[in-house]
Amino acid sequence: MKFKATKLLALTLMTGVLVMPSLSQAKEQGNTTLTPEQQHIISVAAYTATGDMDALKVEFGQALEAGLSVNEIKEVLIQMYAYAGFPRSLNGINAFIKVLEERKEQGIDDEVGADATLVPKDTDMTAYGNTVRNKLAGVDMSDNQAAFAQFAPVIDEYLKAHLFGEIFSRDVLDIQQREFATISALAAMDGTAAQLGAHLNFSMNVGITEEQLYSFISVVEDELGAEKAAEAKAVLDKIIKSKGSE
């Protein structure tokens, strides 16, 4: 895991100086199908989901140097609670606060970026989220027949109203950026292959290409190792094969 080693080395050597920028440069040089911003969204989400705070702290500095704003990174961390849970999300947010404070002490003025546009107060978030999910799925899921939704309808309501409604309505990140964050978290965690497969499908439905998804696998390998990358690639290969046979 050459990138992770670089991150840990940079963390060890941090003594009031800027975090080593070589990771951003290496990613940009070695991956032309993903923008540096997309690659760092993947990395932030992966380390947040796994709880690797040491690597995440270094990644924050490199993500900021690569062009992500404070609010864009913060938005990834907020979204992570829906996939990795409140503890990992809150740990990431607290770690980000410390990194920003350290950078401010070093005289670094990070771009805050735009806030989320306010959604009209009378917005029906269930309807809004249902529309977003239908777009992602490529089919009408208004009457979700999945076993979980039939057994526990309230969880499907939460998915529509809160995840795809309240969270996805926040336009700090676009829908592709949110899917990159999602598939990264799902690839990083154990036991989430089914959800990863669904969101790989969703990613392609909103314009993320097969080439970009295989580049995503490369970032997973660099950050999380060959085993995690192989698991994610097996899921992606299956999805690509199924689409080819349609």
pLDDT confidence band for 243 (50 / 70 / 90)? confident
The residue out of 145, 169, 193 marking a domain boundary is 169
Distance CA 134, CA 146 (A): 14
Going by C-alpha positions, the residue among 173, 171, 180, 172 that lies closest to residue 31 is: 180
Please tell me whether residues 100 and 21 are part of one structural domain: yes
Q: How many helices (H) and strands (E) does the chain have?
A: 13, 0
How far is residue 180's CA from residue 39's CA, in Å, rounded to a whole number?
A: 9
Q: Are 4 and 55 in contact (CB under 8 A)?
A: yes
Residue 32: per-residue pLDDT: 61
- Would you say the pTM of this structure is higher than 0.85? yes
In this structure, what CATH number is given to the domain that contains residue 82? 1.20.1290.10
The residue among 165 and 10 whose pLDDT is bigger is 165
Cβ atoms < 10 Å from Cβ of 208: 20
Q: What was the pLDDT predicted at 7? A: 52
Q: What is the pLDDT of the chain when averaged over all its residues?
A: 90
Residues of the chain by 3-state class (helix, strand, coil), percent to 5: 75, 0, 25
Q: Which residue do the tokens 């309808």 mark? A: 153
To the nearest whole percent, how much of the chain has pLDDT over 90? 85
Whether residues 99 and 193 fall in one domain:
yes
Residues 136 and 199 reside in one and the same domain: no
Pairwise CA distance, residues 165 & 147, whole Å: 22
Q: Using one digit for the tens of pLDDT, what is the confidence trace for 198-211?
A: 999 999 999 999 99
Instruction: Write b or e for each residue in 130-151: b if 16 or more Cβ atoms lie within 10 A of its Cβ, otherwise e.
Output: bbbbbebeeeebeebeeeebee
Tell me, yes or no, whether 124 and 107 share the same domain.
no
The answer, yes or no, to whether residue 9 has pLDDT greater than 80, is no
Asked whether the beta carbons of 51 and 22 are under 8 A apart, the reply is no
* pLDDT tens per residue across span 145-189: 999 999 999 999 999 999 999 999 999 999 999 999 999 999 999
